[in-house]
């Protein structure tokens, strides 16, 4: 369950789905520099104030924008899920419209739907899909420069598929996490 920062105020939980071009972001998580979470929180605070026709602007801690995962600098997303909180009584549809008007061109809110108060995008995520694009050969694609890895030689797709097949199944990813306190580091790669 999402903890309330101020127990005297009620909040409504929502599932927010966003897409973004990560080229100019230093990743998802709020921190130093321009981050996806930070930009969404700022735009969301303004959107709430607009939807309420004034009044106090919520803080980032009150909004609790939590992504299903943390992307690194330069990583793009086509459908990243986040959980957010809005002050009770706020018109969610009006906030959604205002949010898109307040977001910069490299982020779009695709949908925003009411969610159970216990909804937490990170802890309740059931599946994540990652797509890595490789462009092979001597000619690159200028429209994919920030969305692909270019290799000059021809790759053996058969051998790549054979090697990738050995990764499918439940595996321990302990060496890939900084969260040493988390007990279960087993993950299931479905394909």
Residues acting as catalytic residues: 72
Are 41 and 30 in contact, with CB atoms under 8 Å apart? Answer: yes
Neighbours of 41 (CB within 10 A): 21
DSSP state of 139: -
- Backbone φ, ψ for residue 122 (5° rounding): -75, -50
Are 120 and 2 in contact, with CB atoms under 8 Å apart? Answer: yes
> Taking Cα atoms as reference points, which of 96, 135, 102, 117 lies closest to residue 17?
96
Q: What is the largest CA-CA distance in the chain?
A: 62
Are 99 and 43 in contact, with CB atoms under 8 Å apart? Answer: yes
User: Helices (DSSP H) in 75-115: which residue ranges?
Assistant: 92-102
> Which secondary-structure segment (H or E) carries 118?
none
């Amino acid at each position: 369950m999402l903890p309330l920062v101020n127990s005297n105020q009620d909040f409504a939980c929502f599932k927010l789905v966003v897409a973004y071009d990560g080229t100019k972001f230093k990743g998802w998580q709020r921190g130093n520099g321009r981050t996806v979470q930070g930009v969404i929180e700022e735009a969301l605070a303004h959107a709430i104030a607009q939807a309420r026709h004034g009044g106090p602007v919520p803080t980032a801690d009150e909004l609790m924008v939590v992504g299903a995962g943390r992307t690194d600098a330069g990583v793009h997303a086509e459908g990243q899920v986040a959980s957010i909180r809005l002050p009770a009584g706020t018109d969610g549809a009006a906030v959604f419209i205002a949010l898109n008007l307040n977001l910069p061109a490299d982020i779009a809110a695709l949908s925003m739907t009411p969610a159970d108060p216990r909804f937490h995008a990170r802890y309740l995520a059931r599946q994540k899909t990652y797509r890595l694009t490789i462009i092979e050969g001597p000619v690159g694609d200028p429209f994919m420069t920030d969305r692909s890895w270019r290799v000059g030689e021809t790759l053996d797709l058969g051998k790549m598929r054979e090697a990738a097949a050995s990764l499918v199944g439940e595996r321990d990813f302990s060496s890939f996490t900084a969260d040493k306190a988390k007990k279960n580091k087993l993950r299931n790669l479905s394909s």
